[in-house]
């Protein structure tokens, strides 16, 4: 049975599963989905193309969606022979049955009992809980579990490099790392951004783009902006950091998104105090470029004050959501707290 749970293997495992499907290795049932929607869609697309004859989708493909499903209707669909295709594909989307609970287990069990040699049952679920009893039932029925996590930075970079090369475009290593990192392993988003770069380069007759051009064309490098904010605060330039914050807010960046990214950044800085660069890449799934920058920036803080800043992020989130503080004011206070923490950390280093 195929399982795609390891982050670093998700792309390779998806490709292997697609190849198996295309050569006729069809399982009686599948659970497809997970956080990485692009890979899940690729597997589902390969399955549809293989088991449904051309032009027969209206007759041999039945799709159901939602949590209020008629089990008798589903059972009848599974028992109905295909019209002109090798299999009748019965697709159930976002049923919620692969989460802990007796109802989901019972529904999955009932449908698996109705499988026939001419039907292929697909559960397509965005959210899957590994504790769900339905998973065990699916495996026992000879099913394939293809639930894909986001790929590692290294895997996503290789994937992006291949597609850029196929389009006749290359980026230098640092620009590529920054470009891939800003899409955070979302291959669907990364593919869309690659298409933008390819169209831009083709229009100019170019085979290489520099970092400034990528920054202008592609999605905003939000992580890089948070680094810039923290660099300014670490250097004692609190007013400059506040001006950058106002540019982000006035440009339409939601305050709570900035807050979420700051909280994540402080947690990663805390990890960077404990790990070397290789460990940061391995355990946090970050590029060498980001890992090195985290290590360098983490030297401006100490553990105690980073822990306090993480707690301050949680308190700021609560204050904004409860209406005690306006979001802009709350972020300004948080940046001032960060600036003071960096200044105190500098003072401690000088006094040693």
Model confidence over 119-171: pLDDT tens digits?
999 999 988 888 889 999 999 999 999 999 888 888 899 999 999 999 999 99
Half-sphere exposure of 174 (CA within 13 A, CB side): 8
What domains, with CATH codes, occur in the chain?
7-147 (3.40.50.300), 153-217 (1.10.8), 222-351 (1.20.272.10)
Task: Specify the residue for token string 């669907």.
Answer: 188
- Residue 247 has a pLDDT of 85
Residue that wins the pLDDT comparison between 288 and 139: 139
The confidence band for 5, taking pLDDT boundaries of 50, 70 and 90, is very low
C-alpha span between 133 and 127 (Å, rounded): 14
- Residue 86 has a pLDDT of 94
Q: What is the pLDDT of residues 62-102, one digit of tens each?
A: 999 988 899 999 999 999 999 999 999 999 999 999 988 88
Q: Nearest-CA neighbor of 285 among 335, 217, 223, 196?
A: 223
- Residue 352 has a pLDDT of 60
Exposure string of 41-57, with b = 16+ CB inside 10 Å and e = fewer, is bbbbebbbebbbeeebe
- Residue 178 has a pLDDT of 85
C-alpha span between 135 and 132 (Å, rounded): 6
- Residue 152 has a pLDDT of 83
- Residue 347 has a pLDDT of 67
In percent, the amount of the chain with pLDDT more than 90 equals 51
C-alpha span between 163 and 198 (Å, rounded): 10
- Residue 147 has a pLDDT of 92
- In this predicted structure, the answer to whether residue 15 has a pLDDT above a threshold of 90 is yes
C-alpha span between 275 and 281 (Å, rounded): 9
- Alpha helix ranges (H) inside the chain: 10-22, 37-51, 57-60, 71-79, 102-112, 133-140, 153-166, 173-182, 187-204, 211-217, 222-234, 238-250, 255-274, 277-284, 288-298, 303-321, 327-351
Q: What is the pLDDT of residues 290-346, one digit of tens each?
A: 888 888 888 888 888 889 889 999 999 999 999 999 999 999 999 988 888 878 776
- Residue 227 has a pLDDT of 82
Three-state DSSP class for 275? coil
Residue 120's φ and ψ, nearest 5 degrees, are: -130, 120
């Amino acid at each position: 049975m195929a399982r795609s749970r390891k982050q670093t293997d998700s792309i390779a495992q998806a490709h292997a599963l697609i190849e198996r499907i295309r050569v006729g290795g069809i399982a009686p049932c599948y659970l497809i989905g997970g956080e990485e929607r692009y890979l899940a869609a690729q597997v589902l697309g390969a399955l549809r193309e293989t088991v449904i004859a051309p032009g027969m989708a209206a007759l041999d493909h039945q799709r159901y969606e939602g949590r209020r499903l008629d089990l008798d209707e589903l059972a009848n669909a599974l028992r109905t022979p295909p019209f002109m295709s090798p299999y009748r594909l019965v697709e159930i989307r976002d049923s919620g049955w692969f989460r802990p609970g007796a109802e989901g287990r019972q529904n999955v069990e009932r449908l698996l009992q109705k499988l026939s040699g001419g039907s292929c049952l697909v559960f397509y679920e965005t959210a899957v809980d590994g504790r769900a009893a339905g998973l065990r039932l699916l495996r026992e029925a000879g099913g394939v579990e293809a639930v894909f996590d986001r790929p590692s930075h290294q895997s996503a970079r290789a994937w992006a490099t291949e597609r850029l090369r196929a389009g006749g475009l290359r980026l230098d290593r640092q620009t590529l790392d920054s470009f891939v990192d800003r899409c955070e392993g979302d291959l669907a988003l990364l593919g869309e951004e690659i298409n933008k770069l390819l169209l831009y380069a083709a229009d100019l007759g170019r085979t290489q783009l520099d970092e400034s051009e990528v920054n202008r064309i592609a999605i905003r490098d939000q992580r890089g902006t948070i680094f810039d904010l923290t660099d300014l605060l670490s250097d004692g330039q609190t007013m400059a950091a506040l001006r950058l914050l106002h540019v982000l807010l006035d440009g339409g960046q939601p305050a709570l998104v900035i807050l979420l990214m700051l909280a994540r950044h402080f947690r990663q800085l805390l990890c960077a105090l404990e790990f070397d660069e290789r460990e940061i890449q391995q355990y946090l799934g970050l590029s060498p470029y980001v890992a090195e920058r985290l290590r360098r920036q983490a030297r401006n803080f100490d553990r105690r004050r980073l822990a306090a800043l993480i707690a301050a992020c949680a308190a700021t989130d609560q204050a904004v959501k409860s209406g005690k503080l306006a979001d802009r004011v709350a972020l300004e206070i948080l940046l001032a707290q960060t600036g003071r923490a960096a200044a105190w950390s500098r003072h401690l280093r000088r006094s040693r």
